[in-house]
Amino acid sequence: MFGSIFDIIGFLIFIALIFVFPKLMLYQILTLLNAKVKTYEEMTNKAQKSIFKKINKETKLTGKELKKNLDRIMEHFVVEPDAVDPYGVANKIRYITKSHDKSLDYFVGEVTTGISEEERKNLAASLMHTIGLYQITKIIRHFIELIKQTKNFQIGMILQIQLPFIDKQMKGLYQSIQAFINKIPVGDCIGPLYAANLIGKDKVKEIDEQTVMAKKKIEGKEVFILKAKGPAANLGEIDNAIRKIMKNNKIDKVITVDASGKLEGEKTGTVAEGVGFAMNPRGGGKFFAESYLIEKSIPLEAVAIKMKPEGALMPMSKDILKSLSQVNEAVKRSLKSVKKKAIVVGVGVTVGVGNSKKEAEIAEKRIDNYNRKEEARKKKSKKGFLDKLFGE
C-alpha cells in the first residue's frame, strides 16, 4: 500500500517538474543574460564617454550636438557584399571595407577641428571598436527579448554557451579603445614594431597609401622592409606595395611577421616559424597579396608571435614585447636561403608605432609604462583591508 502511495507521489512530482523545470531554467538563463548585458552596456557607455571626452576638447560643437552625432554614428553599419556569384567578391570586400574606414575618418574630421592626422585615425579606430561593443550589446539584448517572448530557454542555452567567448571579445574591444585614444601599442602592433626596429635609421618613403618602405642591406642581402605608416592606427596597403617593389626587382622570398592566436596552454609571446602569407583577411589584402605572389611562384615564409585572440586588441603585454629578439633571429634564419633580394613585412595595426628605431623605442617605453601601472594596480587590489586602510 505504502509503495503504491510513494509511486503516485513520485509520479505527481515528475509531472510537476515537467512544467516547473523549464520555467526555472528560463528564469536562471534570463537572470544571467540580463546581468551580462548590463555589464556590456556599462562598458559601451564608458567607451562612448571616453571618446566624447576626447573629441569635446577638439570641437566647436556643443555637448548636446556632439552627443547627438555620436549616437548617430553608433548605428553605422556595413552591408555584406553579394556573393551569389563568388567571382570578384574580394574586390567588393575591399571596396566596402575602404568605404567604411573612410566614412569613420570623415565623421571624426567633421566633428573635430585642428587635430592631427594621427589623432584623427586613432579616434576613427576607437569609434569602430566602440560601434562593435554597441552592436554586440544590442544583439544580446535582442535575444533576451526574443527568449522572453517565445519562452524558449533553448535559445538562451545556446547563447549561454557562447558567453565566455563573447566576454573575451568585449574585453579586448573595450581595452583597445583606451589604447587607441592614449596611443599605446596593442598586441597586433608587434609586426610593425619589429619592422620599425629593423628599419633603424634608414630612410623611409611612402610607397603606397598609408604604407611605408625602407631598403637596407642585412647580412649581404638587399631587404625591402614594409609596414603601415605610423604612428597612427593604420593597416596600410601591403599588397599594392609588394606589387610596386616587384615591378622593378627580382624578389627571392617574402617574409611576413604578424601576431597569431595561441592555443590554451601555450605561452604568450612564443615565436613560431612557418610558410604562407601571415595576415588578417580584413579588406581582402591577404587574398590579393597571396594570389599575386603564388602566381609569381615566390616562396612565402611567416614568423608568428602567439597571443590570445583578445590580446591582439589589448595593450601589448611584456611577454609579447620580449619576443622581438626571437623574431629577429627567426627572420635572419629565413634570410639565409635568400640569394639577393627579399621583402620583410611587419603586418598589423601600427597605433603608437612610428617608422624608425627611435620611434620604436618611444613605443616600447609607453608599453613598459602601461604594464608597470597595471602591475601596480593589480598589487594594490590584492592588498588586505588593513594595508588599504593604513598603508604598508
pLDDT tens by residue, the chain, 392 residues: 445 665 666 666 666 666 666 777 788 888 888 999 999 999 999 999 999 999 988 888 888 999 999 999 999 988 888 877 777 888 888 888 899 999 999 999 999 988 889 999 999 999 999 999 999 999 999 999 998 888 887 888 888 889 999 999 999 999 999 999 999 999 999 999 999 999 999 999 999 989 999 999 998 899 999 999 989 999 999 999 999 999 999 999 999 999 999 999 999 999 999 999 999 888 888 999 999 999 999 999 999 999 999 999 999 999 999 999 999 999 999 999 999 999 999 999 999 999 999 999 999 999 999 999 888 887 777 655 445 544 44
Cα–Cα distance between 206 and 211 in angstroms, integer?
A: 6
**Calculated CA dihedral for residues 332, 335, 337, 338, nearest 10 degrees:** -160
DSSP, collapsed to helix, strand or coil, labels residue 235 as coil
Per DSSP, 151 falls in state T
pLDDT, position 374: 87
pLDDT, position 8: 64
pLDDT, position 390: 43
Residue 142, phi-psi category: left (phi > 0), alpha (psi -120 to 50), beta (remainder) = alpha
Select from 344, 309, 305 the least CA-distant residue to 322.
Answer: 305
**Dihedral angle sign, alpha carbons of residues 203, 207, 210, 216:** negative
pLDDT, position 283: 83
Q: Say which residue the cell 563568388 belongs to.
A: 86
Domains, the chain, in order of start with CATH, read: 2-82+89-181 (no CATH), 187-377 (3.40.50)
Q: Phi and psi for 284 in degrees, rounded to 5?
A: 80, 0
Give the contacts of 280 (CB within 8 A, at least 6 positions apart). Answer: 235, 258, 286, 347, 348
pLDDT, position 15: 66
Helix (H) or strand (E) holding 48: helix 2-56
pLDDT, position 7: 65
For the beta carbon of residue 268, count every other beta carbon within 10 angstroms: 17
Residues counted in the chain: 392
